[in-house]
């Protein structure tokens, strides 16, 4: 099952932000054993009218605190084990994997109702488990990341996770960010949600900012036929890294690694290195780039700081690019002549000393 969210979609129809989180489309859920008829009826009604929001589901690693009102000996501070169970006083093992806090609380209440009269159960999430999320596609550092939600920072959002992966790359499509969410219980259906932020940033409008939960996967697709305006919009957004590092070598005033804004043109990196020296050639600048498969490409071009972004002489740069500013023909000839005369340098220096002292040069040459 997949959903697409674009700028200006009806919030009450598809999604809305609830306490900073995303309220998803209708999710068909089964009735969990042990729930009272009233709670089960509410769940069925919510799923039917589309108002069932995505709620935090318990899983291994969550730390819970359970108490029963005015009942001593029924307190428990537990952690959900790797099999999704917790151990409670008088009840023993209770399977809470995939349940919301409300569902788990009702399940525990039903269990205690067999031995207690009208028990009032309190269940609190003391510490949520670390969030493990996978980020793939057109980001600077794809991989699996572990995030620890904290009260002062709140729950991680889609934007923050993309930033954690180094930001969207120069070829990333900001109009197609996909969030793949696993089922609440093992073996359930996986859901997919696609978000278009490029249209929102370019034309204005509303777009949801979904919270990212444990087990989510984020994919940033590669852009096709990306326009200059879209490239600049993407680079200036907080989805992109603030700066990228490129290496400028050769005939520039300050060769080395320089930091430039994301999607900066070639001319900006050369100017950040102090510009081309008088020995450098404006017509022979080489751009060396390594693609995702490790294959290097070398492209030779001229240097024109007035060229439009994405023009043949002023392409946008990517993280790790290498720029080589070659020498002019005159500088090459001068350097070649210097190299050819270098073996004779000791003799030339000795001859100069003999002349300064007024000694005959023939004695130096053994004549």
Ordered by start, the domain boundaries in the chain are: 20-127, 131-236, 243-327, 334-364
The CATH number of domain 20-127 is 3.40.50.720: no
What angle do the packed helices 37-49 and 101-112 form, to 10 degrees? 160
- State the Cα–Cα distance between residues 203 and 198, nearest whole angstrom: 8
Q: How far is residue 206's CA from residue 15's CA, in Å, rounded to a whole number? A: 11
Residues in the chain: 367
Query: How does DSSP classify residue 118?
Result: S
Between residues 224 and 361, which one has the greater pLDDT?
224
Question: Which CATH code, of 1.10.3720.10, 3.10.560.10, 3.40.50.720, 3.40.50.300, is assigned to 131-236?
Answer: 3.10.560.10
pLDDT, one tens digit per residue, over 208-267 is: 888 898 889 999 999 888 777 788 888 888 888 888 899 999 999 999 999 998 878 888
Domains 20-127 and 243-327 share a fold: no
231: number of CA atoms within 13 Å, CB side? 20
Beta partners for 285? Answer: 301, 325
Contact 261, 243 (CB under 8 A): yes
Please say if the pLDDT value at position 204 is more than 90.
Answer: no
Architecture of domain 243-327: Roll (3.10)
What whole-number distance in Å separates Cα of residue 156 and Cα of residue 115? 41
Which tens digits make up the pLDDT trace of 14-62? 333 333 333 333 333 333 333 333 333 334 333 333 334 467 889 999 9
Which residue did the predictor score with more confidence, 337 or 40? 337
Yes or no: say if 100 and 64 are a contact pair by the CB < 8 Å rule.
no
Q: Is the pTM of this model over 0.85?
A: no
Position 226 scores a pLDDT of 73
Distance CA(269)–CA(324), nearest Å, equals 11
Look at residue 9 in the predicted model and tell me its pLDDT.
38
Mean pLDDT computed over every residue of the chain = 79
């Amino acid at each position: 099952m997949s959903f697409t969210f674009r700028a200006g979609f009806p919030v009450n129809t598809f999604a809305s932000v609830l306490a900073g989180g995303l309220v998803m489309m209708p999710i068909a859920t089964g009735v969990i054993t042990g729930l009272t008829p009233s709670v089960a009826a509410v769940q069925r009604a919510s799923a039917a009218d589309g108002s069932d929001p995505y709620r935090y589901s318990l899983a291994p690693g969550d730390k819970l605190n359970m108490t029963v009102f005015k009942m001593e000996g029924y307190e428990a501070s537990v952690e959900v084990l790797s099999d999704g169970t917790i151990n409670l006083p008088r009840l023993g093992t209770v399977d809470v994997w995939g349940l919301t806090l409300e569902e788990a609380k009702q399940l525990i209440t039903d269990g205690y109702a067999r031995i207690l009269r009208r028990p009032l159960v309190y269940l609190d999430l003391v510490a949520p488990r670390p969030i493990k999320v996978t980020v793939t596609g057109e980001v600077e550092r794809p991989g699996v990341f572990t995030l620890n939600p904290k009260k002062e920072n709140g729950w991680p959002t889609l934007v923050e996770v993309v930033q954690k992966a180094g930001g969207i790359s120069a070829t990333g499509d900001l109009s197609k960010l996909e969030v793949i969410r696993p089922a609440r219980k093992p073996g359930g259906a996986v859901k997919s949600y696609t978000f278009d932020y490029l249209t929102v940033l370019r034309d204005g409008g509303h777009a949801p900012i979904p919270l990212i939960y444990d087990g989510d996967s984020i994919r940033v697709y590669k852009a096709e036929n990306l326009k200059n305006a879209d490239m600049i919009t993407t680079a200036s957004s907080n989805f992109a890294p603030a700066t990228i590092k490129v290496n400028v070598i050769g005939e520039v005033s300050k060769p080395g690694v320089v930091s430039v804004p994301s999607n900066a043109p070639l001319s900006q990196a050369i100017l950040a290195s102090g510009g081309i020296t008088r020995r450098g050639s404006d017509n022979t600048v080489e751009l060396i780039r390594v693609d995702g498969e490790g294959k290097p490409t070398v492209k030779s071009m001229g240097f024109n700081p007035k060229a439009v972004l994405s023009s043949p002489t002023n392409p946008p740069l990517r993280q790790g690019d290498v720029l080589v500013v070659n020498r002019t023909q005159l500088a090459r000839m001068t350097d070649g002549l210097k190299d050819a005369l270098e073996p004779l340098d000791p003799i030339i220096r000795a001859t100069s000393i003999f002349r300064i002292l007024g000694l005959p040069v023939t004695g130096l040459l053994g004549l």
